[in-house]
């Protein structure tokens, strides 16, 4: 564990630092003294076998689970034990592996939940400053339309958000999180079930956002996708960090091949 | 009186009878209905708010029997050749329902005479929100709550519970108990009767707790009563609740001298409690002297019709209808103001004592005025006092061999 | 890539298909999704449906399995029309289905999930379940855990196993590899082939086109509810247009 | 109705259920109008019914802003209604125990008897109660919230029933003035108005007298209440605030992940709804001039729910419609009861109410008025360069495969 | 009365609540709505048994102070409740296209209809089975336990039914199918579960137990058209307390709520006996922990339990 924490501390400017995080369910240690950091401005990949504890880690970081031990720092603030919305206030947003459905809303409305700190979310400002509300709503709406178009789902804008295909749901989930414009975005398998042609485009989207300053931590099993996009890559196995390195390094690491990649890649 | 009008049609029903109605505001309506009286053979329509559903629906049912019997007595003879018709609306045993029912009767059907309601709270709610300020006559069939006395405009057929409370406190004291445990149903009726009892009783009330209606078990209450150490237990509640309690007392093997207010008595209690379980209990009920001939005939008619003994509630409702019919016949027009005037007088102490509608109606038809008849009800002499309360007689019943036996009379 | 098809095209054109949709229009409520869609599955074949998100791939499977009733056209199984038959009866006919989402009973244990997969079996349930555990050790160790505690990938495996309990004649699988680690995905594809070897014809939807088509005998490209291309995996993978538009090539 | 509340919505923009409801409403209004003119329907009684409908509409507005907006299953409607009613009643009634309680306290006794003070107090008490009930229950999952709130409502009812020193116990509170008592002009308006006699159909005159004018004032009051509430809710519903609530309703975790403080939002929605329910209670007090513990019975809760569900959860217009339906169910069945049937009349109305509820659930076109339209801040859609809002509802999309 | 005495009373009352709450919980999870007609289903069972008992009478011998005829009536009552529920499901719920709150509202309508029909047929007054009530069992009285043989019969019959249900759920696939259906109805069909049949069985079991509960309630207390409805709130509390959808949770919840309801006098004794300080708090507590507030106390305890276990006794942790 010591060696690992050094790895984390070695980061120049970690926007997210996970230190010795633990979580177990019953007898199972889903997160087992995990320690790593995410450098500002990177796209960090998080890979590992099914059940390695990746999603659990996301849940711990974003405040959905209470860790049994260890700390999480976002932007230098200790957010361990905070409510998800508080973590989000510190600039960290996550998506879910299984897309969430929003009943009774159109896709466009479901997108508009994304932006943070909308003036119209304060009840009294609806009446005291309707102008500001309208302004930000227009801006958000335009932004939503733009992202939907980029994701090739603008034709769904006024469809009920529940009546879309599985892959489309993943896209909406991703698009919405992007609308929140967080500093750190945690993506849980953003392209699972997404058509490869579209996945390619998403890749460039993510890269572009990254160039504009968003830091990404992404879980993905699509090796082509992560290896192209992410650097460094953290490999998780049985709840702890197996290794961390460049795509090249990881790809050739025997332990990784063994536990994860298999002969196929 | 801004109007005259006619309209007629009254009819029963669905479309609200005599149009106009409206206004209850008072006088207007009466005018119109008056003419009604003049020209047609339409039935006179009055209204009744009853507990057809809800927690007091059992009372509603008993009332309905009395009303039906009374209507047939009235309509055998007729009122100036016309029939009497009663529109019954359901209060659901609640204020909201009661007020809505009364609103419909008064402002839609335009009835000048309103019988209602069962629960004391509901009667008052109707009075305050619909009747007060108009000249509609309101006559409650079953409310015995004490505070109705404060509203002289609101008449009632059942005597105030105060006299019962007084009588009970005397009886219990006379029986030599200086400690008593009381439980009462948690509503206006139970509370006001119990308050009056506690005021009047000289001994110590060692247990005094309300209970909610419609509970599935009162074993908590009775075990607390047992624990209080009092040997005299007083119940101010309704039949269903009382029957439950008796059964629980029986199957718990407790033993005490029971006393009860009027509403705990009835065939239903006898039928649904074990033989002997309440023997020796004393109950004070308002009553016409049972040996009187009019009650006898009422009771036998009732038994012939429904195959059961009448309750005092059926008797009150019966008297409400007869009293209303007589008031209508005696009034020169079918209007609230006129009925206000006659409703007390036809049963008031002046005049010839009669015990049936037919007899009273005959006097009126022969040109007699309202003061020429003194209708003696099957529930008592009626004789409303200035507060709108009847002068009831009270009868003390004792349960002997699982039957009610009258053992004493008390003047109200 | 390691699974380049070596098998001869599974069926001759003359053979009767086990399952076929012909000229099917179908959709949700009043929303039409499939438009004159025809798909055929011959005995012993693996057929892969690919296409953009929202093309209607899952809808094809749902229509074939009776979750949706075809508006027009027919769905036939061994030559019999089964369009509109209820899913619980279709299962008994010998078709199995693995949905894309919501495909496990979260509040039941793994063991119970498998048992539920076999409610329509008369006998041999225990034995099948044991073989399935042998085949998928990843779920065996969690036998008595609630399915909702499984990771995404574990869940996918369970869903697949659940459908196999019936030992169906035809298996419809919606994106078997979504969310699976590369090695697990390989395992699943191997299992698909293995199941196929046991005379089960398989119709599957897959976004991992290289691997999916890699084990298939034929493929369809679906777009906007109609079949745009049909052919052997090689034909599809090598077609410039198909590859560009649909396969991320 | 929808044309009144949504002036922009031209008739052709209506969806099928909307058109249906509009048609029935217009027919119903016509029917009422004719009935009034011919004297078949008493005008005073009619106004009473309008007042009741307004009261139920308020209740369903309140419930709608909890259940329809945020998915909070609140089964304590009656408690908030009752608290509003009692708050107003205790502060204004002549026979209120408060007069004794506050004897000697500065200021307060002089405020007793003022309906406006009663209004404020009713709302304030409801506010406090909402927070008290909300703190423990809003952390619970929907179904659990339902029963916890039902239980707490029962606790409130028992307190009102048993704490006589404060509430008069089972005797209830009487001697309540009308809401406008003591106001200039309006205070004496009913008595000052002359009796009018309209004779549209010869022989069936319509009389308008004091009680009629008093009832008109009540209607005025409830229209003011409901109108104000409708304005506030409509704006809130289409705002980002409302959108967060709807997100919570559908998937609270998602809202949390996106950085929304869901507990606070739920509390806001709960308090807002509770205040509206209390407002209904305040109106009720001045409509019926008497309140008792029976007014806190859970049946009021059920009717509010029926109204909201019939109207379509989440739809403010629907809630309004639901209020009217409830009055029709509750009071309209009185008329059906007049039709002589060979059955014991007593439970017949209960039967009818049951059958009507079942029938409406069975044959209603999609929740009568569900919130079909997209809810985006209106001027944002118009001015933001975004495409026009769709002209078919979310649940009503028709047509073929392509969605363009 | 002693603590044991209160506990014994609680046990009897709990038995009835448990029967009601199991059925409600089953329907809650399978048909996916809170069935407000459940209480009135109990009433149906009770009145059918009443009629049957009136016809068959005593039938010779007796056990536990109850004639054989009563047990026949019990069976008929159970059957009638089940049949009515199944018919209602087929005729009303099944064709309905509404969400679970919509079903809830519908069930309120159905409750009104059931109750109205009973009231039309039997009137609104209360009545009892024509069975002679018993005195408490002598040998137990010295321990402060005052129960009759009838009470014993109620507890024993309820126990038999509950154990029978347990066996049914545990040793047949039905229970598992029910849970699968409650979890994911679409997937259940995909797996080959004939969901319609499972649903009907759920109604049969749920309503049957409710019918039994109604009959016992009638025996325990009395019959009136409102009897079941009046108990509904308490039954709901039990179901929620136990954890929605869990049969065993419903048993536990029903047991607890029944106990709490009957133990109020004991609680108030305890509060009086405790040295609470300061004095105003003591008197406040004394006035609140009293029999008027018996139901309130049950609800407050329920809310308190929910705060500690937000998904009920048998429910799992969050997420
Ligand atoms: N709520 C829970 N209760 C019990 N066990 C859990 C829970 N959540 C996760 N687990 C277990 O923890 C382990 C890690 O799960 P997790 O979802 O984090 O895996 P993952 O790395 O995201 O896998 P995948 O790539 O398949 O999504 C798994 O074995 C899973 O079964
Ligand atoms: N329940 C539904 N109700 C209405 N429309 C739906 C529903 N589910 C899917 N759709 C629509 O039907 C179309 C086809 O959906 P389908 O799920 O078949 O796509 P798919 O090809 O499986 O896509 P993916 O690869 O994303 O899973 C999509 O445009 C989608 O919006
Ligand atoms: Mg995962
Ligand atoms: Mg799909």
Place of tokens 């809002």: D389
Going from the first residue of chain B to its last (412 residues), give the mean pLDDT of each consecutive group of 10, the final group possibly shorter: 36 37 37 43 90 83 90 92 91 89 91 91 91 91 88 90 91 94 91 92 93 87 91 93 93 92 86 91 80 82 88 88 94 90 89 90 90 88 88 86 87 64
Condensed to tens digits (0 to 9), the pLDDT of residues D250-277 reads 889 999 999 999 999 999 999 999 999 9
Residue B280 backbone phi and psi in degrees, to 5: 90, -10
Cβ of D43 and B5 within 8 Å? no
Residue in chain B closest to D285 (alpha carbons) equals B129
Distance CA(B8)–CA(D196), nearest Å, equals 20
Task: Please name which ligand lies nearest the alpha carbon of A29.
Answer: 1
10 Å CB burial of residue B45 (0-12, 13-18, 19+) is buried
A66 and A186 share one domain: yes
Mutate to test the interface with D, among B28, B56, B57, B66 (most CBs of D within 10 A): B28
A vs C, Cβ pairs < 8 A, gives: 122
Q: Which of B252, B227, B147, B157 is nearest to B193 (CA)?
A: B147
Q: Does E92 touch chain D (CB under 8 A)?
A: yes
Q: Which of A140, A161, A182 is the last residue of a domain?
A: A161
Distance CA(B194)–CA(B190), nearest Å, equals 6
DSSP 8-state symbol, E144: T
A171 and A60 share one domain: yes
> How many angstroms away from the CA of A38 is the closest CA of chain C?
22
A125 and A244 share one domain: no
- What 3-state DSSP class applies to D153? helix
Residue in chain E closest to B245 (alpha carbons) equals E221
Mutate to test the interface with D, among A64, A106, A163 (most CBs of D within 10 A): A106
Distance CA(D164)–CA(A91), nearest Å, equals 54
Chain B meets chain A (3+ C-beta pairs below 8 A): no
User: Atom 30 in ligand 2: which residue has the minimum CA distance?
Assistant: A164
Q: Is residue E177 within 8 Å of C119, Cβ to Cβ?
A: yes
Q: ipTM of this model?
A: 0.85
Provide the residue ranges of all domains of chain E, joining segments of one domain with +: 3-227
Distance CA(D341)–CA(A70), nearest Å, equals 76
User: Which residue ranges of chain D lie beneath pLDDT 50?
Assistant: 1-9, 365, 383-404
Provide the residue ranges of all domains of chain C, joining segments of one domain with +: 19-245
Number of neighbouring beta carbons within 10 Å of residue C2:
12
**Average pLDDT for E175-200:** 89
Which ligand 1 atom is the nearest neighbour of the CA of A52? 21
- What 3-state DSSP class applies to D247? helix
Place of tokens 């380049």: C4
Of E104, E123, E311, the CB nearest to D141: E311
A257 and A215 share one domain: yes
- Domain-embedded: residue A4: no
pLDDT at B18: 38
A182 and A250 share one domain: yes
Give the C-alpha distances (Å, rounded to integers) separating D297 from D85, D155, D274, D293, D302.
Answer: 13, 11, 16, 8, 10
Contact A97 CB / ligand 1 (< 6 Å): yes
A28 and A88 share one domain: yes
Q: Does A95 touch chain D (CB under 8 A)?
A: yes
Range of the domain at A108: 102-161
Condensed to tens digits (0 to 9), the pLDDT of residues C99-152 reads 988 899 988 899 999 999 998 888 889 999 999 999 888 889 889 899 988 888
**Chains in contact with B, counting 3 or more C-beta pairs less than 8 Å apart as contact:** D, E
Distance CA(A147)–CA(A151), nearest Å, equals 6
Chain B meets chain C (3+ C-beta pairs below 8 A): no
In chain A, the number of structural domains is 2
**What mean pLDDT value characterizes chain E?**
87
A182 and A112 share one domain: no
CA of C65 to the centre of ligand 4 (A): 14
CA of D394 to the centre of ligand 4 (A): 22
Contact A226 CB / ligand 1 (< 6 Å): no
Is it true that the peptide bond before B117 is cis, omega within 30 degrees of 0? yes
Give the C-alpha distances (Å, rounded to integers) separating A109 from A172, A176, D9, D394.
Answer: 11, 10, 21, 11
Number of residues that make up chain E: 319
Task: Enumerate chain E positions whose Cβ falls within 8 A of a Cβ in C.
Answer: 173, 176-177, 179-180, 182-184, 186-195, 316
> Would you say residue C7 has pLDDT above 60?
no
User: Which of C33, C64, C101, C177 is the best mutation target for the ligand 2 pocket, counting ligand atoms within 8 Å of the beta carbon and taking the most?
Assistant: C33
Of C86, C116, C166, the CB nearest to E176: C116
> What residues contact residue A10 under an 8 Å CB cut-off, 6+ apart?
A37
CA of B219 to the centre of ligand 4 (A): 62
Give the C-alpha distances (Å, rounded to integers) separating A214 from A174, B173, B285, B308, D248.
Answer: 14, 89, 86, 87, 27
Q: Which residues of E62-73 are buried (b: 16+ CB within 10 A; e: fewer)?
A: eebbbbebbbbb
For residue B140, the Cα-to-chain-centroid distance in whole angstroms is: 6
Condensed to tens digits (0 to 9), the pLDDT of residues C185-236 reads 888 898 889 889 888 999 999 988 888 999 999 999 999 999 999 999 999 9
Contact A60 CB / ligand 1 (< 6 Å): no
User: Atom 12 in ligand 2: which residue has the minimum CA distance?
Assistant: C33
Place of tokens 């000229």: C23
Of D240, D249, D383, the CB nearest to A121: D240
Strands C19-28 and C31-41: antiparallel
- Domain-embedded: residue A6: no
Q: Does D354 touch chain B (CB under 8 A)?
A: no
Condensed to tens digits (0 to 9), the pLDDT of residues E261-300 reads 888 888 888 888 888 777 778 888 887 888 888 888 888 8
Number of neighbouring beta carbons within 10 Å of residue C221:
25
pLDDT at B32: 39
Contact C33 CB / ligand 2 (< 6 Å): yes
Contact A49 CB / ligand 1 (< 6 Å): no
> Would you say residue E257 has pLDDT above 80?
yes
Contact A56 CB / ligand 1 (< 6 Å): yes
- What 3-state DSSP class applies to D346? coil
Of A25, A189, A193, the CB nearest to C149: A25
Of C2, C100, C181, the CB nearest to A50: C181
Mutate to test the interface with A, among C55, C104, C151, C208 (most CBs of A within 10 A): C151
Give the C-alpha distances (Å, rounded to integers) separating B162 from B145, B199, D134.
Answer: 8, 10, 44
A107 and A69 share one domain: no
Contact C151 CB / ligand 1 (< 6 Å): yes
Q: Is residue B59 within 8 Å of D246, Cβ to Cβ?
A: no
- Domain-embedded: residue A207: yes
pLDDT at D385: 41
pLDDT at D367: 52
Which ligand 1 atom is the nearest neighbour of the CA of A50? 26
Residue in chain B closest to D327 (alpha carbons) equals B100
pLDDT at C10: 36
DSSP 8-state symbol, D312: -
Mutate to test the interface with D, among E103, E268, E284, E299 (most CBs of D within 10 A): E299
User: Which of C136, C145, C151 is the best mutation target for the ligand 1 pocket, counting ligand atoms within 8 Å of the beta carbon and taking the most?
Assistant: C151
Structure tokens at A248: 């090249």
Contact C152 CB / ligand 1 (< 6 Å): yes
**Average pLDDT for C42-57:** 92
Condensed to tens digits (0 to 9), the pLDDT of residues D356-378 reads 888 878 876 455 555 556 677 77
Distance CA(E86)–CA(B397), nearest Å, equals 50
Which ligand 2 atom is the nearest neighbour of the CA of C53? 26
Distance CA(D147)–CA(D152), nearest Å, equals 8
pLDDT at A10: 59
CA of A220 to the centre of ligand 3 (A): 9
pLDDT at D59: 94
% of chain C exceeding 70 in pLDDT: 94
Tell me which chain D residues have a C-beta less than 8 angstroms from the C-beta of C29.
397
CA of C154 to the centre of ligand 1 (A): 8
Condensed to tens digits (0 to 9), the pLDDT of residues A117-144 reads 899 999 999 999 999 999 999 999 999 9
**All domains of chain D, ordered by start, with CATH?**
16-380+393-398 (1.10.3470)
Fold topology of C19-245 = Rossmann fold (3.40.50)
Question: C238-242 contacts: CB < 8 A, separation 24 or more?
Answer: none
- Domain-embedded: residue A60: yes
Task: Please name which ligand lies nearest the alpha carbon of C53.
Answer: 2
User: Atom 10 in ligand 1: which residue has the minimum CA distance?
Assistant: C149
- What 3-state DSSP class applies to E268? helix
Q: Provide the angle, in degrees to the nearest 10, between the axes of the packed helices E195-220 and E227-242.
A: 120
Cβ of C27 and D401 within 8 Å? yes
């Amino acid at each position: 564990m010591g060696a690992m924490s050094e790895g984390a501390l070695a980061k120049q400017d970690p926007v997210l630092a996970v230190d010795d995080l633990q979580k177990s369910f019953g007898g199972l240690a889903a997160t087992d003294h995990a320690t790593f950091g995410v450098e500002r401005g990177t796209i960090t990949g998080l890979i590992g076998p099914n059940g390695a504890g990746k999603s659990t880690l996301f849940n711990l970081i974003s405040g959905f689970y209470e860790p049994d031990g260890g700390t999480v720092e976002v932007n230098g603030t200790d957010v361990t034990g905070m409510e998800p919305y508080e973590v989000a206030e510190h600039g960290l947003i996550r998506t879910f592996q299984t897309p969430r459905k929003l009943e009774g809303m159109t896709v466009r409305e479901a997108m508009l939940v994304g932006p943070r700190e909308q003036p119209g979310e304060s009840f009294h400002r609806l009446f005291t400053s309707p102008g500001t509300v309208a302004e930000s709503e227009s801006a958000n709406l335009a932004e939503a339309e733009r992202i939907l178009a980029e994701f090739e789902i603008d034709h769904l804008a006024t469809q009920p958000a529940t009546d879309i295909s599985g892959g489309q749901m993943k896209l909406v989930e991703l698009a919405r999180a992007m609308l929140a414009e967080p500093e750190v975005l945690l993506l849980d398998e953003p392209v699972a079930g997404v058509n490869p042609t579209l996945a390619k485009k998403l890749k460039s989207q993510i890269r572009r956002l990254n160039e504009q300053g968003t830091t990404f931590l992404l879980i993905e099993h699509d090796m082509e996708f992560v290896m192209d996009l992410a650097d460094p890559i953290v490999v998780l196995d049985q709840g702890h960090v197996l290794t961390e390195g460049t795509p090249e390094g990881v790809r050739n690491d025997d332990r990784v091949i063994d536990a994860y990649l298999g002969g196929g890649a | 009186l801004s109007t005259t009008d006619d309209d007629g049609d009254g009819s029963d029903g669905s479309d609200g009878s005599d149009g106009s109605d409206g206004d209850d505001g008072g006088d207007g309506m009466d005018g119109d209905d008056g003419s009604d009286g003049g020209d047609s053979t339409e039935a006179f329509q009055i209204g009744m708010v009853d507990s057809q559903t809800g927690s007091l629906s059992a009372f509603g049912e008993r009332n309905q029997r009395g009303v039906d019997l009374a209507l047939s007595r009235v309509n055998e003879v007729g009122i100036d050749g016309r029939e009497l018709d009663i529109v019954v609306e359901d209060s659901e045993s609640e204020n909201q329902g009661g007020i809505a029912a009364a609103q419909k009767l008064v402002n839609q059907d335009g009835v000048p005479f309103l019988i209602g309601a069962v629960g004391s709270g509901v009667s008052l709610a109707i009075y305050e929100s619909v009747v007060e300020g108009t000249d509609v006559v309101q006559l409650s069939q079953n409310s015995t709550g004490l505070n109705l006395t404060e509203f002289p405009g609101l008449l009632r057929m059942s005597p105030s519970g105060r006299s019962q409370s007084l009588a009970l406190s005397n009886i219990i004291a006379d029986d030599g108990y200086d400690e008593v445990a009381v439980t009462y149903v948690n509503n206006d009726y139970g509370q006001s009767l119990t308050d009056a009892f506690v005021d009047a009783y000289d001994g110590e009330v060692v247990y005094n707790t309300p209970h909610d209606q419609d509970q599935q078990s009162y074993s908590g209450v009775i075990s607390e009563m047992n624990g209080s150490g009092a040997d005299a237990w007083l119940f101010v509640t309704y039949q269903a609740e009382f029957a439950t309690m008796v059964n629980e007392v029986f199957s718990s093997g407790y033993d005490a001298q029971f006393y009860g207010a009027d509403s705990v008595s009835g065939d239903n209690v006898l039928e649904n409690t074990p033989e002997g379980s309440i023997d020796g209990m004393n109950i004070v009920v308002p009553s016409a002297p049972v040996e009187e001939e009019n009650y006898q005939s009422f009771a036998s008619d009732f038994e012939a019709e429904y195959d059961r003994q009448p309750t005092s509630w059926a008797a009150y409702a019966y008297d409400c209808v007869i009293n209303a019919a007589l008031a209508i016949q005696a009034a020169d027009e079918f209007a609230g103001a006129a009925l206000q005037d006659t409703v007390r007088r036809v049963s008031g102490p002046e005049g010839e004592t009669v015990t049936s509608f037919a007899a009273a109606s005959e006097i009126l038809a022969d040109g007699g005025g309202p003061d020429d008849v003194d209708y003696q009800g099957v529930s008592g002499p009626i004789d409303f006092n200035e507060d709108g309360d009847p002068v009831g007689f009270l009868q003390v019943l004792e349960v002997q061999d699982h039957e009610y036996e009258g053992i004493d009379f008390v003047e109200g | 890539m390691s699974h380049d098809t070596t098998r001869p095209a599974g069926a001759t054109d003359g053979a009767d298909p086990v399952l076929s949709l012909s000229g099917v229009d179908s959709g949700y409520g009043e929303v039409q999704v499939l438009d004159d869609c025809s798909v055929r599955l011959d005995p012993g074949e693996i057929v892969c449906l690919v296409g953009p998100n929202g093309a209607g791939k899952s809808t094809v499977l749902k229509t074939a399995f009776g979750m949706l009733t075809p508006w027009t056209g027919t769905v036939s199984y061994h030559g019999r029309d089964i369009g509109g038959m209820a899913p619980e009866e279709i299962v008994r006919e010998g078709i199995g289905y693995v949905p894309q989402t919501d495909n496990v009973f979260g509040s039941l244990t793994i063991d119970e999930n498998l048992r539920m997969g076999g409610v329509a079996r008369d006998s041999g349930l225990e034995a099948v379940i044991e073989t399935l555990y042998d085949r998928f050790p990843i779920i065996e160790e969690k036998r008595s855990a609630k399915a909702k505690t499984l990771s995404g990938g574990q869940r996918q495996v369970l869903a697949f196993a659940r459908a196999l309990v019936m030992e169906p004649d035809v298996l419809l699988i919606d994106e078997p590899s979504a969310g699976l680690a590369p090695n697990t995905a390989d395992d699943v594809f191997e299992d698909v082939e293995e199941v196929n070897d046991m005379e089960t014809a398989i119709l599957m939807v897959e976004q991992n086109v290289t691997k999916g088509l890699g084990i298939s005998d034929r493929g369809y490209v679906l777009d906007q509810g109609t079949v745009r291309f049909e052919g052997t995996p090689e034909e599809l993978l090598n077609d410039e247009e198909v590859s560009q538009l649909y396969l991320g090539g | 109705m929808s044309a009144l509340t949504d002036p922009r919505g031209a008739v052709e923009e209506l969806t099928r259920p909307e058109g249906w409801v509009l048609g029935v409403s217009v027919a119903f209004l016509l029917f009422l109008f004719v009935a009034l003119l011919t004297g078949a329907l008493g005008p005073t009684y009619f106004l009473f019914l309008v007042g009741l409908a307004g009261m139920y509409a308020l209740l369903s507005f309140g419930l709608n802003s909890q259940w329809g907006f945020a998915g909070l299953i609140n089964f304590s409607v009656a408690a908030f209604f009752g608290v509003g009613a009692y708050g107003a009643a205790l502060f204004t009634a002549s026979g209120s125990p408060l007069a004794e309680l506050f004897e000697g306290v500065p200021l307060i006794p002089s405020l007793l008897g003022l309906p406006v003070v009663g209004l404020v107090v009713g709302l304030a008490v409801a506010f406090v109660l909402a927070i008290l009930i909300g703190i423990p229950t809003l952390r619970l999952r929907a179904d659990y919230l339902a029963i916890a709130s039902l239980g707490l409502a029962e606790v409130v009812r028992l307190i009102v029933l048993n704490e006589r020193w404060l509430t008069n116990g089972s005797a209830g509170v009487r001697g309540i003035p009308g809401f406008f008592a003591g106001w200039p002009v309006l205070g004496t308006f009913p008595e000052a108005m002359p009796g009018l006699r309209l004779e549209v159909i010869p022989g069936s005159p319509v009389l308008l007298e004091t009680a009629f004018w008093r009832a008109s004032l009540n209607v005025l009051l409830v229209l003011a209440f409901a109108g104000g509430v409708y304005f506030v809710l409509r704006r809130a519903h289409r705002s980002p605030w409302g959108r967060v609530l709807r997100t919570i309703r559908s998937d609270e975790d998602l809202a949390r992940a996106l950085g929304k403080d869901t507990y606070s939002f739920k509390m806001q929605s709960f308090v807002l709804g509770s205040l509206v329910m209390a407002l209904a209670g305040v109106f009720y007090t001045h409509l019926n001039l008497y309140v008792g513990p029976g007014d806190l019975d859970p049946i009021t809760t059920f009717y509010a729910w029926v109204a909201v569900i019939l109207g379509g959860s989440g739809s403010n217009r629907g809630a309004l419609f639901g209020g009217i339906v409830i009055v029709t169910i509750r009071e309209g069945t009185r008329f059906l009861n007049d039709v002589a049937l060979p059955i014991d009349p007593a439970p017949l109305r209960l039967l009818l109410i049951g059958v009507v509820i079942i029938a409406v659930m069975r044959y209603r076109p999609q929740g009568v008025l569900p919130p079909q339209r997209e809810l985006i801040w209106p001027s944002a859609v118009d001015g933001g360069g975004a495409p026009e809002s769709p002209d078919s509802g979310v649940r009503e999309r028709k047509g073929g495969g392509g969605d363009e | 009365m002693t603590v044991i005495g209160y506990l014994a009373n609680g046990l009897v009352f709990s038995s009835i609540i448990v029967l009601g709450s199991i059925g409600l919980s089953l329907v809650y999870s399978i048909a996916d709505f809170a069935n407000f007609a459940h209480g009135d289903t109990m009433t149906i069972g009770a009145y059918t048994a009443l009629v049957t008992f009136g016809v068959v009478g005593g039938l010779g011998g007796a056990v536990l102070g109850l004639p054989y005829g009563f047990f026949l009536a019990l069976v008929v009552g159970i059957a009638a409740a089940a049949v009515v529920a199944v018919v209602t499901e087929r005729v009303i719920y099944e064709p309905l296209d509404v969400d679970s709150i919509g079903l809830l509202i519908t069930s309120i309508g159905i409750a009104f209809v059931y109750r109205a029909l009973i009231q039309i047929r039997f009137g609104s007054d209360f009545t009892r089975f024509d069975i002679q009530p018993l005195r408490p069992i002598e040998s137990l009285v010295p321990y402060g336990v005052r129960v009759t043989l009838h009470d014993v019969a109620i507890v024993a019959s309820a126990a038999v039914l509950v154990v029978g249900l347990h066996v049914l759920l545990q040793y047949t696939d039905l229970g598992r199918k029910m849970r699968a259906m409650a979890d994911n109805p679409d997937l259940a069909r995909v797996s080959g579960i004939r969901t319609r049949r499972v649903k009907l069985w759920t109604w049969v079991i749920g309503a049957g137990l409710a019918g039994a509960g109604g009959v016992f309630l009638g025996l325990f207390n009395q019959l009136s058209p409102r009897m079941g409805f009046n108990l509904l709130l308490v039954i709901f509390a039990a179901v929620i307390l136990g954890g929605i959808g869990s049969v065993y949770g419903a048993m536990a919840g029903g047991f607890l709520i029944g106990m709490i309801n009957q133990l109020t006098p004991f609680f108030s004794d305890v509060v009086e006996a405790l040295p609470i300080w300061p004095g105003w708090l003591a008197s406040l507590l004394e006035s609140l922990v009293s029999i008027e507030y018996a139901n309130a106390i049950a609800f407050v305890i329920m809310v308190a339990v929910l705060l500690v276990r937000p998904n009920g006794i048998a429910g799992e942790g969050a997420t």
